[in-house]
């Protein structure tokens, strides 16, 4: 057995999710004192990651005044670390072939009502044309779990995406949501310059995991749990974790996310680049998705967003178009730093909307607004929509990114670069109304900058107006 295989087999036997400890912490921190909540919140505002016990305490805060303390702190922390910028991306489903049988998923192998589809090279180009024509610069590519979606196939797909040009339109960052790979598989994918590799554990509760993952490679809880360890060992230092809320108790799942973060920090010196927390949404011919076993209410959902923000101050938080516009507006205030917009999740559906699109989709979206509508609303509400990929391309990733982020230096890069990518969008793609609102926002943001920084940014904005593109700090 090779050294790498020995590493993988050892990992596959040893979980870092201590089920008994999590249950104990959730039990012993019930009915917390408001003063204790205040102390924990103050620690978070010092930009320190919370301990599992502190997170469990916040999860058990049930009094209205305690919840409001948490919400206020989450809003403040989000503003201090991330400012008012919001990163935007779009999901691009490459194929929905799958050999797993996950009870909640529209793509599960036994679902005969789903139309199976994998984009051809020509269809991929059509999708990219549709996306770049609207102004998208960042994608997450999504693959079913099937032997045909090999590391080589994934890598070649990403290469094609990066090479595609449509006038000023191009994709500058490709994140990946795909099956867990071997270390060698990750190395193949890393060579083409991916952004973040994202794996959702779905549920961290082992008995629940076994109950709903009935067949296929995904039935192995341990192999999936250590999927991002293998990515890190292969040199991919930007990884994203997530849980699917609605399968098991939401408080346990938040604790699972925190222990996963803790594990990555302790083993590799850097935690996840992003955390996702989707709720189960309806899917074609999928009864479990219509009636989730442990549904999470909107109020509980807002609480978990705020508590994740306080527990891991420097980690990006993603809230997708699964959710309604109203919930997404609330999420942005409570700690979310990335959203998708103008999304379509049927395979091939950006370029070819047809009545059968829903049968090529994993679930049903809650927010179907166009990219321009979302950009306009963000700007109206004082957010800077950002397509920035500067840190990624300058090598500010993984531990290096955290070295910038933790002292707050990242705001020196991110706000100016967000304005520059927003300006690109306004020049090339925005409606007249969005352009008017956006230009007003840019002027307002420039006035907030120190004079020296403002002059630098103004010169770069002038370059964009003169026809240059992809200018950045």
What pLDDT score does 332 carry? 97
Handedness of CA 94, 100, 102, 107 (dihedral sign): positive
Residue 382 pLDDT grade (very low, low, confident, very high; cuts 50, 70, 90): very high
Q: What is the maximum alpha-carbon separation in the chain?
A: 63
> Average pLDDT in the 302-308 region?
98
**The pTM is what?**
0.94
What span, in angstroms and rounded, lies between the C-alpha atoms of 407 and 8? 35
In contact, 128 and 89? CB cutoff 8 Å: no
Backbone angles phi, psi at 387, to 5 degrees: -110, 20
Measured distance CA(380)–CA(385) in Å, rounded: 11
Which architecture does CATH list for 84-392?
Alpha-Beta Barrel (3.20)
pLDDT of residue 2: 46
pLDDT at position 10 is 45
What is the rounded CA–CA span in Å between residue 252 and residue 149? 32
- Geometric angle at alpha carbon 140, from 168 and 119, rounded to 5°: 85
| pLDDT number for residue 82 | 87
CB 314 within 8 A of CB 89: no
Do the beta carbons of residue 428 and residue 168 sit within 8 Å? yes
Neighbours of 200 (CB within 10 A): 17
**How many Cβ atoms from other residues are within 10 Å of residue 150's Cβ?**
16
Estimate the crossing angle of helix 451-465 against helix 410-428, to 10 degrees.
30
The pLDDT confidence band at residue 54, using thresholds 50, 70 and 90, is very high
Say yes or no to pLDDT of 392 above 70. no
Task: Please determine, for residue 6, whether its predicted confidence score (pLDDT) is greater than 70.
Answer: no
Q: How far apart are CA 436 and CA 70, in angstroms?
A: 36
Helix/strand number for the chain, H first, E second: 21, 11
**Cβ atoms within 10 A of the Cβ of 79, count?**
12
- Pull the structure tokens for residue 182: 């071997």
Give every CB contact of residue 97 below 8 A, 6+ residues apart in sequence: 116, 118, 144, 146, 148, 149
Beta strands 239-243 and 197-202: pairing type? Answer: parallel
* Averaged pLDDT score across all residues of the chain: 93
- Return d(Cα 403, Cα 416) in angstroms, integer: 19
Q: What is the pLDDT of residue 7?
A: 45
pLDDT tens-digit profile of 227-238?
999 999 999 999
Residues near 84 by beta carbon (within 8 Å), at least 6 away in sequence: 382, 383, 384
pLDDT of 4 > 90? The answer is no
User: HEC states along 380-406?
Assistant: HCCCEEECCCHHHHHCCCHHHHHHHHC
% of the chain exceeding 70 in pLDDT: 93
């Amino acid at each position: 057995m090779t050294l790498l295989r020995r590493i993988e087999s050892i990992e596959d036997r040893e979980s870092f999710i201590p089920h008994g400890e999590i249950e104990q912490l959730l039990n012993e921190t019930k009915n917390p004192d408001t003063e204790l909540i205040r102390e924990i919140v103050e620690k978070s505002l010092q930009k320190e990651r919370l301990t599992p016990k502190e997170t469990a305490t916040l999860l058990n805060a049930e009094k209205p005044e305690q919840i409001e303390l948490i919400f206020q702190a989450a809003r403040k922390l989000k503003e201090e670390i991330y400012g008012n910028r919001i990163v935007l991306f779009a999901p691009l489903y490459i194929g929905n072939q799958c050999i797993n049988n996950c009870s909640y998923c529209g793509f599960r192998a036994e679902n005969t009502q789903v139309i199976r589809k994998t984009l051809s090279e020509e269809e991929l180009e059509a999708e990219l044309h549709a996306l770049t024509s609207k102004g998208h610069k960042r994608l997450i590519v999504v693959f079913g779990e099937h032997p045909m979606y090999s590391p080589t196939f994934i890598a070649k797909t990403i290469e094609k995406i990066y090479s595609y040009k449509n006038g000023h339109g191009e994709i500058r960052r490709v994140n990946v949501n795909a099956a867990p790979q071997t270390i060698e598989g990750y190395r193949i994918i890393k060579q083409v310059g991916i952004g973040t590799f994202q794996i959702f554990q779905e549920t961290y509760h082992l008995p629940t995991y076994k109950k709903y993952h009935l067949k296929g490679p995904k039935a192995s809880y341990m192999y999936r749990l250590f999927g991002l360890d293998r990515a890190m060992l292969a040199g991919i230092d930007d990884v994203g974790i997530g849980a699917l809320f609605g399968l098991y108790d939401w408080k346990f799942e938040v604790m699972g996310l925190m222990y996963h973060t803790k594990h990555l920090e302790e083993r590799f010196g850097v935690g996840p680049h992003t955390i996702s927390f989707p709720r189960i949404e309806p899917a074609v011919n999928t009864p479990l998705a219509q009636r989730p076993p442990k549904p999470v209410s909107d109020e509980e959902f807002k609480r978990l967003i705020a508590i994740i923000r306080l527990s891991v101050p420097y980690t990006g938080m993603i809230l997708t178009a699964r959710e309604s516009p109203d919930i997404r507006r609330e999420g942005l205030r409570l700690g979310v730093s990335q959203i998708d917009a103008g999304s379509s999740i049927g395979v091939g559906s950006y370029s070819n909307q047809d009545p059968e699109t829903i049968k090529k989709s994993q679930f049903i979206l809650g927010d179907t607004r166009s990219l321009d509508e979302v950009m306009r609303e963000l700007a109206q509400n004082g957010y800077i929509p950002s397509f920035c990929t500067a840190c990624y391309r300058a090598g500010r990733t993984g531990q290096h990114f955290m070295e910038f982020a933790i002292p707050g230096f990242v705001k020196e890069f991110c706000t100016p670069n967000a304005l520059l990518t927003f300006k690109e969008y306004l020049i090339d793609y925005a409606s007249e109304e969005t352009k008017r609102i956006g230009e007003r926002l840019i002027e307002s943001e420039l006035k907030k900058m120190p004079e020296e920084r403002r002059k630098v940014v103004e010169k770069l904005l002038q370059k964009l107006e003169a026809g240059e593109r992809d200018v950045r700090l």
